[in-house]
Homo-oligomer: A and B are copies of this chain.
Amino acid sequence: MKRPPETLTSPSNPLIKTLKGLERKKERQATGLFLAEGARLVEQGLANGWQPDTVVVATAVADRPHIAALAERAEAAGARIVLVPDRLMSKVTHKDNAQAVIATFRQRRITLDHIRITDKARKALYIALYEVRDPGNLGTILRTADCAGADGVILVGTCCDPYSFEAVRASMGSVFDIPFAAASYEEFEAWRREAGLTSVAASVNGTARHDLVDLQQDTVILMGNEQAGLPPEVEADCDQLVLIPMRGGADSLNLAQATAIMVYETWRQRDFQ
């Protein structure tokens, strides 16, 4: 690092309070920041050009070449670098996820305009989540959408926060990678009509089997809330309601599982291009 980094020595340092505060949505909204825990995650944020605010490094690992390089890169990107003695690291990281590096990044407020179709060479695939509530599901879906090379994820209506610790962790860094936008249902529906996207919703009310409908056009896959699914008026707007088969008597698939099945079926129909 170019200049000697700050060293935090007291557990009452306000930075600890600030970092802990980011576990609450209210604080994330007030500051516009969010937490990324672990060197790998921080690296992904930097690699994708996200703006780091503060990077906290455990003293014990600060001299390791790849950690020093990471801190240097973050500093060059404008971050404040703070060394924290190991005994205080547990104050700033999650109990079940002890990490030697954590960082705060500036949130991005991405609108639908930012995720419109740019690559005309291949068919578009978007995933719209209607009032998803579980941040683990959301993070997992971001990860799967990223793996499948989807064009973006749209959070429709009142969804859980993609910048929550649980969502960021479950996304395994995909939160930095795959574009996602939040929108009201009306905004979403206007956008998808203008973009010429066929909307295909997985629903218990679906009549067509999910693998027997044509998913080769520019498509947005619509998935409903974990408990309530999609409201009837939203289902009425969809071009296709499809049913993922289940054995008789079985309950329902987990939302993230159902989404993975839909996304991979779509990609399969496109021969994984």
The reply to whether the CB of A140 lies closer than 8 angstroms to some CB of chain B is: yes
CA distance A211 to B265 in the complex (A): 10
Instruction: Indicate the size class of the contact surface on chain A.
Output: 20 to 34
**Known: A257-B257, A261-B261. Contact between A252 and B147, CB under 8 A?**
yes
CB neighbours (8 Å) of A247 from chain B are 146-149
Cross-chain contact B209 with A251 (CB below 8 angstroms):
no
The reply to whether the CB of A256 lies closer than 8 angstroms to some CB of chain B is: yes
CB neighbours (8 Å) of A211 from chain B are 268
CA distance A256 to B258 in the complex (A): 11
The reply to whether the CB of A12 lies closer than 8 angstroms to some CB of chain B is: no
CB neighbours (8 Å) of A170 from chain B are 254
| Interface membership of chain A positions 235-273, coded 1 if the CB is closer than 8 angstroms to chain B and 0 otherwise | 000000000111100111110110011001101100010
CB neighbours (8 Å) of A252 from chain B are 147, 172
Nearest chain B residue, comparing its CB with the CB of A144 = B257
Cross-chain contact A209 with B147 (CB below 8 angstroms):
no
Contact partner of A261 among B209, B244, B264, CB < 8 A?
B264
CB neighbours (8 Å) of A143 from chain B are 251, 253-254, 257
| Interface membership of chain A positions 203-233, coded 1 if the CB is closer than 8 angstroms to chain B and 0 otherwise | 0000001010000000000000000000000
CA distance A147 to B140 in the complex (A): 19
Nearest chain B residue, comparing its CB with the CB of A259 = B257
The reply to whether the CB of A174 lies closer than 8 angstroms to some CB of chain B is: yes
Question: Restricting to A100-157, which residues have a CB under 8 Å from any CB of B?
Answer: 136, 140, 143-144, 146-149
CB neighbours (8 Å) of A136 from chain B are 136
> Among the interface residues A136, A144, A246, A260, which one has the most CB atoms of the partner chain B within 10 A?
A260
The reply to whether the CB of A52 lies closer than 8 angstroms to some CB of chain B is: no
Cross-chain contact B272 with A173 (CB below 8 angstroms):
no
CA distance A173 to B250 in the complex (A): 10
Q: Which residues in A have some Cβ–Cβ distance to B below 8 Å?
A: 136, 140, 143-144, 146-149, 170, 172-174, 177, 209, 211, 244-247, 250-254, 256-257, 260-261, 264-265, 267-268, 272
* Sampled A-B contacts (30; CB under 8 Å): A136-B136, A140-B256, A140-B257, A143-B251, A143-B253, A144-B254, A144-B257, A146-B250, A146-B251, A147-B246, A147-B247, A147-B250, A147-B252, A148-B246, A148-B247, A149-B246, A149-B247, A149-B250, A172-B251, A172-B254, A174-B251, A209-B272, A245-B267, A254-B256, A256-B256, A256-B257, A260-B261, A261-B261, A261-B264, A264-B264
